[in-house]
Amino acid sequence: MKLTRIAKPLRSVQVRVTLAGDLNAALESYAYYYENVHGDAVDAKALIPEILNAFLQADREFQTWSRSSANSHHRCPGSSSINGDAKSQG
C-alpha cells in the first residue's frame, strides 16, 4: 500500500470536487482497503488530502522542480491573480 498509516486524527475537511463514478468507486474501495490494512475505518473523502499529499511527496520530478524553483524564486504562472495581488487597471 502506497499510503502509510495516518499518524494524526483526521480532521473534518470540506472538499468540493466532482468525481467520475468509476473514480468514486475506486476511492471507496481504497477506503475499504485502508481499513483492512490498518484496522481503522476512514471516510473516503477524508483520504483525498492524504492521497494527494502522498502523490506529491512521491513525485520525484516535482520535488526536484520544487526545490529548484524555491532556490530560483520562481513564481507559478498566474499566481498573482489567484492570490488577488494583481491590480486592476483602469
User: Does some domain include residue 7?
Assistant: no
Place 75 in a pLDDT band, splitting at 50, 70 and 90: low
Interval 32-49: pLDDT, tens: 999 999 999 999 988 998
User: Does some domain include residue 5?
Assistant: no
Task: Name the domain count of the chain.
Answer: 1
- Contacts of 48 by beta carbon, 8 Å cutoff, 6+ apart: 13, 15, 17, 27
Half-sphere exposure of 11 (CA within 13 A, CB side): 2
User: Does some domain include residue 45?
Assistant: yes
- The whole-number pLDDT of residue 54 equals 93
29 compared with 79, residue with greater pLDDT: 29
User: Does some domain include residue 38?
Assistant: yes
- The whole-number pLDDT of residue 59 equals 93
As a whole number of angstroms, the distance between CA 28 and CA 45 comes to 9
